[in-house]
Amino acid sequence: MDQGPIVAVLHSDSVPDAELMASVADRAVVRYTEASGLADALRGAEVLFVYDFVTRALPGVWHAADRLRWLHMGSTGVDPAMFPEMRASDVVVTNTRGVFDAAIAEYVLGQILGFAKDLSGSLLLQQRHEWRHRESERIAGATALIVGTGSIGRCIARLLRAAGMTVRAVGRRERVADPDFGTVATDLHAELPCADYVIAIAPLTARTRNMFDASAFAAMKPHARFVNVGRGELVVTDDLVAALRTGSIAAAALDVVDPEPLPVRHPLWELPNVRITPHNSGDFIGWRSEIVTAFTENFDKWIAGRPLDNVVDKRLGYVPG
């Protein structure tokens, strides 16, 4: 009796909710595995759901993917799957585009407001029981440069515009009169001197790796703040530390860093003008259920032979807009 296709599910410390996965389990053999058992789970599997989307295990077990047809990443970024053998294969790659957009946009707005209103300074004064009147900045009228024009960048742009900010963007193709970004340019260094806030949300590709280096930080205004919600590897970390120490830029909010997790003695921890969060800007209450639902809805389409949502262009390393 045909039990259906084999679906491998790579997880870490938490397993996808069984009730949410029921529609898949009814039509397929589901193999749950951690990284140590991934090679065995992949043998004969036609589908791989990467629920543990920070994994680096895929290249090392690719030899076992003897029947794989579709790989779904439970994240927006797909760089852990963009190794040469995968790119050269016929395996279709999809991602969970859209699930994290609004939460990350809210995080970016929150960090911008935190800088403008010096909320960390207020907390420090409160802890000292010190009543000190101060003035704060307005964000209305300030310019935000969004580097990365995918769905998350677009959601950030809409929220910042609603708060009264002027928005520009840097992307792969020039555009004018974009409904969300306004002007989209391609020359990062030409745009950086105009920005009060620089938001990095570009996908990690060969083209974007280390794009924020010493020359990029030198091009920014001394009062500019840098917010990274993309990938830590977009930044040359030592150059960022130097820019923050010397006052080349005013401050940074980092949800992603290189390396991750950040070592306990790393200098970024000690800089007073840095805000660090542990790669959780998109992790709203209920996000795990959302990414499972995104997979099961795509599985419905795959099993029916219909086009999948959020198909990644493996040459580019992301879902084209």
Q: Is residue 309 part of a domain?
A: no
Q: Which band of pLDDT confidence, cut at 50, 70 and 90, is reported for residue 2?
A: low
Q: Which band of pLDDT confidence, cut at 50, 70 and 90, is reported for residue 1?
A: very low
Q: Is the peptide bond before 259 cis (omega within 30 degrees of 0)?
A: yes
Q: 3-class DSSP state for residue 202?
A: coil
**What does the pLDDT look like over 67-76, one tens digit per residue?**
999 999 999 9
Q: Is residue 228 part of a domain?
A: yes
**What does the pLDDT look like over 145-155, one tens digit per residue?**
999 999 999 99
Same domain, residue pair 155 and 249: yes
Domain that holds residue 47: 6-99+285-303
Element (H, E) at 253: strand 251-254
Does the pLDDT value for residue 305 go beyond 90? Answer: yes
- Predicted local confidence at residue 57, as pLDDT: 96
Q: Is residue 312 part of a domain?
A: no
Same domain, residue pair 266 and 165: yes
Does the pLDDT value for residue 186 go beyond 70? Answer: yes
Q: Is residue 135 part of a domain?
A: yes
Same domain, residue pair 52 and 114: no
**What does the pLDDT look like over 15-69, one tens digit per residue?**
999 999 999 999 999 999 999 999 999 999 999 999 998 899 999 999 999 999 9
Average pLDDT in the 119-148 region? Answer: 97
Same domain, residue pair 257 and 116: yes
Q: Is residue 80 part of a domain?
A: yes
What is the pLDDT of the chain when averaged over all its residues?
97
Same domain, residue pair 170 and 199: yes
Same domain, residue pair 226 and 161: yes
Same domain, residue pair 258 and 115: yes
Contact 194, 217 (CB under 8 A): no
Contact 306, 312 (CB under 8 A): no
List, by residue number, the catalytic residues. Answer: 231, 260, 279
Does the pLDDT value for residue 235 go beyond 60? Answer: yes
| Domain of residue 69, CATH code | 3.40.50.720
Domain count, the chain: 2
Q: Where are any strands of DSSP class E within 69-188? A: 70-73, 92-94, 143-147, 166-170, 175-178, 182-185
Nearest alpha-carbon partner for 5 in 34, 47, 41, 49 = 47
Q: Please give the structure tokens belonging to residue 128.
A: 């000292």
**What does the pLDDT look like over 86-101, one tens digit per residue?**
999 999 999 999 999 9
Give the span between the Cα atoms of 318 and 310, in whole angstroms: 9
Average pLDDT in the 287-311 region? Answer: 98
Same domain, residue pair 164 and 293: no
- Predicted local confidence at residue 118, as pLDDT: 97
Same domain, residue pair 121 and 145: yes
Same domain, residue pair 145 and 78: no
Same domain, residue pair 145 and 168: yes
